[in-house]
Amino acid sequence: MITTPPYLKKGNTIGITCPSGYMPKANADKCIQTLQEWGYDVMVGKTLDSKSKNYFSASDEDKIAELQAMLDDVNIHAILFGRGGYGMSRIIDKLNFKKFKKNPKWLLGFSDITLLHSHLHTNCKIASIHSSMASAFNLKNNSPICIESIKNCITGKKPKYTSEFYTKNKTGNAKGKLVGGNLVLLTTAIGTSSDVDTKNKILFIEDIGEYLYSIDRMMYQLKRSGKLKNLAGLIVGQFTDIKDTDRPFGKSLEDLILDAVKEYKYPVCFNFPISHGKENVAVKIGVDYELKITKSKTILKEV
Of 154, 179, 211, at which residue does a domain stop? Answer: 154
Same domain, 92 and 169: no
Mean pLDDT of all residues belonging to the chain = 97
By the 8 A CB rule, do 204 and 181 touch? Answer: yes
Same domain, 138 and 184: no
Does residue 89 form part of some domain? yes
What is the pTM for the complete model shown? 0.97
Does residue 3 form part of some domain? no
pLDDT tens digits, 66-90: 999 999 999 999 999 999 999 999 9
Give how many domains the chain has, as a whole number: 2
Q: What is the pLDDT of residue 141?
A: 65
CATH of the domain at 288: 3.50.30.60
Same domain, 139 and 69: yes
Q: What is the pLDDT of residue 142?
A: 74
Sign of CA dihedral 6, 103, 302, 149: positive
Structural domain boundaries, residue 109:
13-154
Does residue 7 form part of some domain? no
Mean pLDDT of 172-177: 98
pLDDT tens digits, 236-276: 999 999 999 999 999 999 999 999 999 999 999 999 999 99
Mean pLDDT of 201-205: 99
Query: Per-residue confidence at 140, pLDDT binned at 50, 70, 90?
Result: confident
Pairing assessment for the beta strands 283-285 and 297-302 based on DSSP bridges: unpaired
Cβ-based neighbours of 90, under 8 Å, separated by 6 or more? 60
**3-state SS, residue 35:** helix
CATH of the domain at 24: 3.40.50.10740
Same domain, 128 and 243: no
Same domain, 24 and 116: yes
Of 154, 173, 193, at which residue does a domain stop? Answer: 154
**Torsion angles phi and psi, residue 151, rounded to 5:** -60, -45
